[in-house]
Structure formats: structure tokens, C-alpha cells
Amino acid sequence: MTRTRSEDPNPAGRVNPAVWPARDNLESLRSMRDEARQGGGTKRIEEQHARGKLTARERIDLLLDEGSFEEFDVLKAGRGGHLGGEKSYLSDGVVTGHGSIDGREVFLFSQDFTVVGGSLGEAHSEKIGKVMDHAVRVGAPFIGINDSGGARIQEGVDALAAYGSIFNRNVQASGVIPQISCVMGPCAGGAVYSPAMTDFTFMVESASYMFVTGPNVVKTVIHQDISFEDLGGGAVHAEKSGVAHFVLPNDILCLREVRRLINYLPSNNLQEPPILDLQDPIDRTDPALDYLVPANPNQAYDMKVLIRSILDGAEFFEVHGRFARNLLIGFGRLGGKTIGLIANQPAVLAGVLDSNASVKGARFVRFCDVFNIPLICLVDVPGFMPGPEQEHGGIIRHGAKLLYAFIEATVPRITVVVRKAYGGAYIVMNSKHIGADINYAWPTAEIAVLGPRGAAEVIYRKEIRESSDPHVVLSEKEDFYRKTFANPFLAAKRGYIDDVIFPRDTRGRLIRSLQVLEGKTTQRPKRKHGNIPL
């Protein structure tokens, strides 16, 4: 029999002990959930908004598909501080759970700065650890939204142990699932190492900062006054240190870009990246590419013109756009499939490879390799950056990282030599000699040990020195060397270039090559792991 609303299970004051405790628990549950969702309270939420920042839950709502968030451990609380009797808080300053982005499952945490400054303690880290473990078991991307004052000092060594447990999980999950960090507030001390070990780090202008030691410590130790922004703001880490891959103006745009990134990535290392058909014809040609490379070999051009021309829908998701701008890296699609793109940028430092560019490229190549993303390399490189600053800074070691990363990669690897490909830099940029699968060249390609001028100065040094007009002889010998050696046809005759192609056909040739390489398999010697020159 169905009970009507008017039928009270406790009429006329008759107490039913089996019912009323349950009602009390229901009310308690509602109250506790409300308390947890209020975070640090209305005043602190208003202070968060006044700083131009969203709350932990507002960020989750923006990041995930509407209504998809399922929260874990909303009632979990810490044991309280060991010092000074600090009270415990429901949710312990972090919101954790899972939801979807465009229908694909992700796990995440979002630190709540309104509760004890988002500081990390034992319960806080246990919540994060739980969702990280779930992400690995399920095979889903993991996203961390950082907004924390650091370790909870009141919990003493337990707070340090808490950080260690997260770092351990970061390493175990590396190469298994994509890990993304959003630094949307302070991130200092030991807290910085978790984002540093994840695959991609986002920051927000004028709202987030990262540093191992803050301005006060800097002033005490080296007597230098420096602001939070100048020490570890988004611009610093995007342009100088390379810690941040993306810096956005505000929380909303930052979270939107995270959603875009997820759409290029597979959920784990055993899956392929998602396919998205942008209705861009596979056989589309672009006659303008035939005239992209200037007649003057020393004149710059923008490699992004070529990149956008060949990619589906001209959509290029650039990574590390402000750091080492002489090398371009990022994601795009060819024939609906995600590809990782590495390209020299002639418009910046002539596209030369230096230490920062080498490290930037190496890490991206390794990411693409572990997550089954084919690599496309567009080459216009005059060599490695010369000079004592680069040599003393370890350009040999850093250049070896990029070389190592390409050789180690087992995903399909395709190279197009657009213009210059000189010396060791030619070899490093995914040449046939280090295992690239298919290598194309444009008719404008110049493949040689040295550039024509440098080669002429070495080969014909005696003739130039003894000539009555050295400049004329040098110019003649330079032109001779360029026509004889600095072209793609000699390399093609040797089989180092699979084909010299018309620039307008580049897109179609790349897509067809990717189709051929879909079933590629590679056998490697049995080993624990190699020893990359870090």
C-alpha cells in the first residue's frame, strides 16, 4: 500500500524509534553537506571573488560538463592541528571527484582557498590520493586545480608526508594517464613539484604564482626585494623558466583551454586519441605554399602559415607558446586524427636550436610518444646556437635530449624539410638517420653540413685569400656550393629523402603517410629504461 503525504509515521506524538533517528540523520546529512559546500563561509568567498578568483566549486562547474560532477569525501575532515588546537573542517579544504569533459571521464581535485588557505594536510592529501588512484585504475585523465598556501604548518611532519604521497603518485601515473595542473592561486614551497611533474601546467595572469622560496625568504637570504609576480608569476614561468605551458587572463578562459586540450588527448596510454572530423578534404591543396619560402635564403617567414595551411580547419593548439619561441610545438589534426607537431620558427632567431628549444621539444616528443600521438616535424634550421653562453649552459647536453627523445619514440614519425637543414641540427630534427619513418623535402630545401657561405669559406679558403677580389670569389663559390650541394636532390639520390614534393601537396602527402603508418610496430631491446641526459 502506498502511503499518502498526510500519513505521518509518527501521529499523535507516538514515537517510532526506528524512524526518527533516520530523520535526524537525514537532517544531519543536509546540514553537513551545506556546511561543506559553504567552504570558509560567505565572507571568505566574497574575498576570493574580490581577488578576481572563482571558488573551488565554481571552477569545477565551469570545467566539467553540466551536471556531471560526482563528489568524493565531501564529509571527510582532518584530525585538527597538532599545534594550537586547530579545528577540523569538512572537506578539509579540497573538493575531489570525477565528471566528464565532452562526454569523456576525468578525475580531479580543486583546492579551496577559503578553508585554511587551501593548505594541505593529511586528510586533504588522502582525498587527492584517492582520486589519483581511481584515475589510474579507470584509465582517465587527472586534473589538479591548485590554489593553496602550501603545507599546513599546524600538522607538522604529517603535512610533509602528505606531499610525498602525492609526488609518488604523480610519478607512478606519468605516461599512464594525462596529468594536467591548473595553478589558479598561490603554489609555493614543496607544492610546486607536483605541477612540475605533470604533463601540462596552466597559470592565470596576476592571480597565480609558483616558487620554491617566497619573496620574504629571498630578502632574508640574498637581501633582494622582489614582488610575488616578478619572482614566480605567470609571465615569468611562461617566458623564462618554462614551467608554465599556458598562461590565460582569468579563471574562465583558463578552464576553457583545459577543455580544449583534453579533446586532443587519449584517456590513457592504451588508447588512441579521439577522432574529430572537421569536414576538411584530405586532398585539399594550397597553391600559396609554393611561394611561402622567400627567394632570399636569409629572409624570414612565419612557419605558422604552413602549419595552419596543412592542419584540419587551420586549428593549431600551440603549447609553450611564450617559451623558446624559435621552436613551435603543439597539437592539431590531420584527417581527423590528433598529431603532435614540432617545427622550427624562422621568424624567431632564424629558427636556430638552443638549449631551451631543445628541452621544450624533447619533453613534447616524449609526451606524444607515450600517448600514441604521431609526430610531424617541419624543418627549417640553420644549426645550433653558437657562443660561449650556450656552450657553458650545456647546449650539448640539452641538444642530446631532443636527439634522444626522437630516437626513443616509436609512434609514426614524419619529417618535411622546408628550407635549411644544416649540420647536426639536421640530424637531430627527426632525420632518416635517427629512425624517422618518412622524410619529405620541398624543392626549396637546403640539406648540407654547413650553410653555403660557411662551407665556401672553409672549402675555398686558399683561393679566396689569394684572390685580388675576395668578396667576388666568395660570392661565386657560395653560389656554386648552393647549386651543387645545398639542395634536396642529392639527399634524395642517397635515399635520405623519400620524395621531393610540391609544397601545395604537403597536407595530402602527410595524411596518406599517416594512414600507411597506422599499423607501425617497433621492437626495442629489453631494459628497465634508458638514461636520457637530463
Q: Quick one: average pLDDT of 52-66?
A: 96
Catalytic residue among 151, 191, 425, 486: 425
Asked if residue 64 has pLDDT above 50, the reply is yes
**pLDDT computed for residue 9 by the predictor:** 53
Catalytic residue among 139, 393, 423, 424: 424
Q: Domain spans of the chain?
A: 31-262, 287-451+486-519
**pLDDT computed for residue 14 by the predictor:** 57
Q: Quick one: average pLDDT of 296-310?
A: 95
Selected from 3.40.50.2300, 3.40.50.970, 3.40.50.300, 3.90.226.10, the CATH number assigned to the domain covering 287-451+486-519 reads 3.90.226.10
Q: CB pairs under 8 A, 24+ apart, for 213-216?
A: 213/189, 214/188
**Least confident window among 6-15, 211-220, 346-355:** 6-15
**pLDDT computed for residue 83 by the predictor:** 46
Yes or no: say if 305 and 506 are a contact pair by the CB < 8 Å rule. no
Backbone angles phi, psi at 353, to 5 degrees: -90, 130
Yes or no: say if 381 and 361 are a contact pair by the CB < 8 Å rule. no
Q: Can you read off the three cell numbers belonging to residue 374?
A: 604521431
Q: Quick one: average pLDDT of 405-413?
A: 97
Q: Can you read off the three cell numbers belonging to residue 518?
A: 597506422
Catalytic residue among 117, 189, 335, 351: 189
Catalytic residue among 190, 336, 394, 454: 190
Asked if residue 346 has pLDDT above 90, the reply is yes
Q: Quick one: average pLDDT of 335-364?
A: 97
Asked if residue 19 has pLDDT above 70, the reply is no
**pLDDT computed for residue 178 by the predictor:** 98
Other CB atoms closer than 10 Å to residue 519's CB: what's the count? Answer: 7
**pLDDT computed for residue 369 by the predictor:** 98
Q: Quick one: average pLDDT of 246-272?
A: 97
Q: List, for residues 154-199, the tens digit of each pLDDT value.
A: 888 888 898 999 999 999 999 999 999 999 999 988 889 999 999 9
Is 189 in the active site?
yes
CATH superfamily of 31-262: 2-enoyl-CoA Hydratase; Chain A, domain 1 (3.90.226.10)
Q: List, for residues 487-521, the tens digit of each pLDDT value.
A: 899 999 999 999 999 999 999 999 999 999 999 99
CA 141/CA 153 separation, integer angstroms: 31
Is 424 in the active site?
yes
**pLDDT computed for residue 465 by the predictor:** 81
Type of residue found at 204: V
Q: Can you read off the three cell numbers belonging to residue 223?
A: 637581501
Yes or no: say if 376 and 339 are a contact pair by the CB < 8 Å rule. yes
Q: Quick one: average pLDDT of 119-143?
A: 95
- The model carries a pTM of 0.91
Yes or no: say if 182 and 145 are a contact pair by the CB < 8 Å rule. yes
Q: List, for residues 366-391, the tens digit of each pLDDT value.
A: 999 999 999 999 999 999 999 999 99
Confidence of residue 7 (pLDDT cuts 50, 70, 90): low
Is 454 in the active site?
no
Q: Report the sign of the C-alpha dihedral through residues 307, 310, 316, 319, in that order.
A: negative
What's the Cα-to-Cα distance from 14 to each of 6, 10, 21, rounded to whole Å?
16, 5, 14
Is 80 in the active site?
no
Confidence of residue 10 (pLDDT cuts 50, 70, 90): low
Which burial class, exposed, middle or buried, applies to 281 when counting CB atoms under 10 A from its CB (0-12, 13-18, 19+)? Answer: exposed
Mean pLDDT of the chain: 91
